[in-house]
Amino acid sequence: MSEKTRVKVEEAIRMLGYRRNPLAGALSGGRSNLIGLLVPDTANAFFGELSRHIETEGRRRGLLTLLGNTGYRTSLAGEYGAAFSELRPRGIFVTTGEEPPEDDETPRVYLQWAVPGSSSPSVTFNDFHGAKLATEHLLWHGYEDIFCVAGELAVGPAEGREGGWRQAMANAGLPTEGRLIRTAFDRVEAGRAVRQVLENRTRIRAIYATTDEQAFVTIRTATSLGLRVPEDLAVVGFDGIREARLGSFPLTTVSLPLDEFAVCAFNALADGGPAASVVLDGTLSIGSTCGCA
């Protein structure tokens, strides 16, 4: 526009107190500067940290993150997804595996949980490999009676985290029957399940927990029963949350690269399609709970 017109427009802006409404602009044909993120529960430290990394990377790219806690409920995930889609976001990151309605055209990237046969990209972790690493480390210590604290269902990431333990035990010629503790991911519920097993078994030498949350519950429960970690019970976790690395008694765990994960998530959203999918490996972080220190 000409300089004369620009001056008139700026004067009108000052007089009217006009502020650009990017959401209105998005609704008129484009997409907003918003990103949706669906997680089961940010009270779980892992999902809290994952959300923080997504939010930080989104902000770096000029995007704001909308967060929805689904409580592991498919219906609530659908409600959040529909509400986010109405705001015309750049895309929605989904960590719980739900497929969107057929008439929802909002781009999606599945995080941590790839939907089989989906045309949407995904960014996941090699959970099977990580679980195998953790179990093999306990086997290296000479432990043979290795229990696994797992989720209520072997689906999504839980399937790989349980499967890696089974494979490592099978490779060592050791049984898994009767050594699987299924429980909710909630710390209170997990504590009850672990306590029941520890009280009813005369000797459990090692436990691999499929999440750090479950690992900390296991340590707390063992301590309350008079067991020493790792002298009486070795414990290894999975996730590598900040709590696992802090303090004078760090947890041995499989650490996941959440900073790289967030970058890959946004790159997959920009590239689109299954070809943009990425699988990231975790690394074994040695702490004080396995018997190394």
- pLDDT tens string 229-240: 999 999 999 999
pLDDT over 60 at 22, yes or no: no
Peptide bond into 230 cis (omega under 30): yes
Class of domain 3-126+259-278: alpha beta
Most confidently modeled range among 8-22, 46-60, 72-86, 94-108:
46-60
Task: Look at the block and give the residue holding tokens 């017109």.
Answer: 5
Give me the residue spans of the domains in the chain. Answer: 3-126+259-278, 127-256
pLDDT-wise least confident of 6-15, 24-33, 195-204: 24-33
148, 176 contact by CB (below 8 A): yes
244, 289 contact by CB (below 8 A): no
pLDDT at 20: 60
Q: Which residues, including other chains, have CB under 8 Å from residue 21's CB and lie 6 or more apart? A: none
**Distance between CA atoms of 24 and 13, rounded to whole angstroms?**
17
CATH code linked to domain 127-256: 3.40.50.2300
Of 224, 189, 182, 228, nearest in space to 205 by CA: 228
Own/partner contacts of 105-110, CB < 8 Å, gap of 24 or more, are: 106/36, 106/81, 107/269, 107/272, 109/265, 109/268, 109/269
